[in-house]
A = this chain, B = another copy of it.
Amino acid sequence: MQAYPALEQRFARLSAISDAIGILAWDKETTMPLGAADGRAEQLATLEVMAHDVLTAPEVGDLLGEAEQGRDNLSIWQRANLREMRRTHTHQSAVPGDLVEARSRATSRCEVAWRKARAESDFASLRPLLEEVLIRTREVAQAKGEVLGLAPYDALLDGYDPGTRKAAIDPLFAELRRDLPALLDAALARQARLPAPPAMTGPFPVDVQRGFGEGLMVALGFDLRRGRLDASTHPFCGGATNDVRITSRYKESDFTGSMMGILHETGHAIYEQGRPRAWMAQPVGQARGMSLHESQSLLVEMQVCRTRAFASYLAPLAHRAFPALGAEWDAEALYRLSTRVERGFIRVDADEVTYPAHIIVRYELEKAMIAGDLAIADLPSAFNAAVHEPLGLTVPEDRLGCLQDIHWPGGGFGYFPTYTLGAMIAAQLFDAACRADGAVLPGIARGDFSPLLAWLRPNVHEVGSCVSTDEILTRVTGRPLDASVFKRHLRARYVDDA
């Protein structure tokens, strides 16, 4: 067989293994009994090693070299696929197999322990496991950095978000750190002049919330034949190719929390379901990176669903589904609730004005941890000190502080900045979509999201990894990422709105 087709076959196998890992990881969060944790860690570690072996077998380098020699005979998509194959191969072959396995085992165990540690606000019990995760992650960062010619933290970043460097993030985050405190003060002052949203008590039965959420997913374009909605401690979008599984968490007293979680994950999911069909199992058919991924969830959650237009579509639907929802919950009350700004401890509960502060804190801390400048033992106090400055909060216990997120226990150092980069991209993309098609905004008020989806499919989802995030942005917005549209959006919604 020729080199390029042989590579496609090999990467399809890799995709099948990675899909299997996706389902096993989903099961771990939603379904698995606790006593199966060690066994599951073994299964995941074994499959990860096998994926690693498929990708780093000695013949792969030769096949890549040979295919690159013959690239003039390849189509544009094949050429981009080959480039992404090389990228993936470089990332993976930089890390020795036993380190991949050791890190996978460490993160699986640490994630399980995190669940208990968070519930009991017991950082001490997590500490040795998290230390092991950090040691392994630093080894991975070091190994990748050497091969990629990058600083260790940039090497981790590049694994989540190809091409993104801390040198590009630092000025963007500095701009937000400079401008957001005043914006937050102004937003809170404006909010104080408005009536507070009424109290929401319910009860809103969990199965009704689930069905309601599923209805919204379908309206937004989620294909239930190729995905599911379930419950887990921490909402996520996972699963496999053509089997996209999102989760939310429910409380009976308030349906909007689970709903917003579902809307957010739906944004991720429609990206996954909309990847280029012909390239689903190939590297070029993957999502472009985690910043662009997050932009799709935030475009749905923040740009689309926290608008007056969406609230006016939502209000009658919600009253039909939930008889316990009082008449005081008209569209304007739902809108005020969905745009409420508050200094709070929990990142995933944060509004879009305070969210960047949570991210910038974590970004600075994880850069220090990877650089070896911050030990796990000192993380709780460092975290609490860092949060105090931008948000003015004193963390009373670690479950409201550094224990709140699964990312570090799961080894996800380098992931946090993609949330705020995603928020900025979302603003820039949605602004472009509304300019490109005047039907997008009016559609939202009727629950017709098809004009938006029709714009996102060719301009974002179906591009896959054919070009870079900056090129996707430049094609449709005329320039690469900056903070201006995001800041304008925040000011318009939270400060200047009448």
Write the residues of chain A forming the contact surface with B, with a CB cutoff of 8 angstroms: 12-13, 16-17, 19-20, 23-24, 27, 31-36, 38-40, 42-43, 45-47, 50, 223-228, 240-243
Residues A16 and B42 in contact, CB atoms below 8 Å apart: yes
In the complex, what residues of B have CB within 8 A of residue A35's CB? 223, 225-226, 242-243
In the complex, A23→B43 CA distance in Å? 10
In the complex, A27→B243 CA distance in Å? 11
* Residue in contact with A31 in the complex, picked from B39, B224, B228, CB distance below 8 Å: B228
In the complex, A34→B241 CA distance in Å? 13
- A39-B19 contact, Cβ under 8 Å, with A32-B243, A33-B226, A226-B33: yes
In the complex, A30→B439 CA distance in Å? 41
Residues B33 and A228 in contact, CB atoms below 8 Å apart: yes
Residues B225 and A33 in contact, CB atoms below 8 Å apart: yes
In the complex, what residues of B have CB within 8 A of residue A42's CB? 12, 16, 19
In the complex, what residues of B have CB within 8 A of residue A46's CB? 13, 16-17, 20
In the complex, what residues of B have CB within 8 A of residue A227's CB? 33
In the complex, what residues of B have CB within 8 A of residue A228's CB? 31, 33
Q: Chain B CB within 10 Å — which of A20, A27, A45, A47 has the most? A: A20
In the complex, what residues of B have CB within 8 A of residue A47's CB? 16-17, 20, 47
- A39-B225 contact, Cβ under 8 Å, with A20-B47, A50-B50: no
Residues B13 and A23 in contact, CB atoms below 8 Å apart: no
The minimal Cβ–Cβ distance linking A118 to chain B, given in whole angstroms, is 20
In the complex, A228→B34 CA distance in Å? 11
In the complex, A17→B34 CA distance in Å? 20
* Residue in contact with A33 in the complex, picked from B19, B31, B241, B243, CB distance below 8 Å: B243
In the complex, what residues of B have CB within 8 A of residue A241's CB? 39
8 extra interface residue pairs, beta carbon distance < 8 Å, beyond A38-B242, A43-B240: A16-B39, A16-B46, A16-B47, A17-B50, A23-B27, A31-B228, A39-B240, A39-B243
The minimal Cβ–Cβ distance linking A17 to chain B, given in whole angstroms, is 6
In the complex, A23→B17 CA distance in Å? 14
- Mind listing 21 A-B residue pairs with CB under 8 Å? A13-B46, A16-B42, A16-B45, A16-B46, A17-B47, A17-B50, A19-B43, A20-B20, A20-B43, A23-B23, A23-B27, A31-B31, A31-B228, A33-B225, A34-B225, A35-B243, A36-B226, A39-B242, A39-B243, A40-B243, A43-B240
The minimal Cβ–Cβ distance linking A301 to chain B, given in whole angstroms, is 23
In the complex, A455→B47 CA distance in Å? 38
In the complex, A39→B226 CA distance in Å? 10
* Residue in contact with A20 in the complex, picked from B24, B224, B226, CB distance below 8 Å: B24
Chain B residue nearest to A20 (CB atoms) is: B43
Chain B residue nearest to A49 (CB atoms) is: B13
In the complex, what residues of B have CB within 8 A of residue A225's CB? 33-35
In the complex, what residues of B have CB within 8 A of residue A243's CB? 32-33, 35-36, 39-40
In the complex, A20→B48 CA distance in Å? 12
In the complex, what residues of B have CB within 8 A of residue A38's CB? 242
Q: Chain B CB within 10 Å — which of A13, A38, A50 has the most? A: A50
The minimal Cβ–Cβ distance linking A66 to chain B, given in whole angstroms, is 24
In the complex, A377→B299 CA distance in Å? 54
**3 closest A-B pairs by CB:** A36-B243, A35-B225, A16-B46
* Residue in contact with A36 in the complex, picked from B40, B45, B240, CB distance below 8 Å: B240
In the complex, A13→B24 CA distance in Å? 16
* Residue in contact with A242 in the complex, picked from B13, B24, B36, B240, CB distance below 8 Å: B36
In the complex, what residues of B have CB within 8 A of residue A12's CB? 42
In the complex, A241→B39 CA distance in Å? 7
In the complex, A6→B61 CA distance in Å? 29
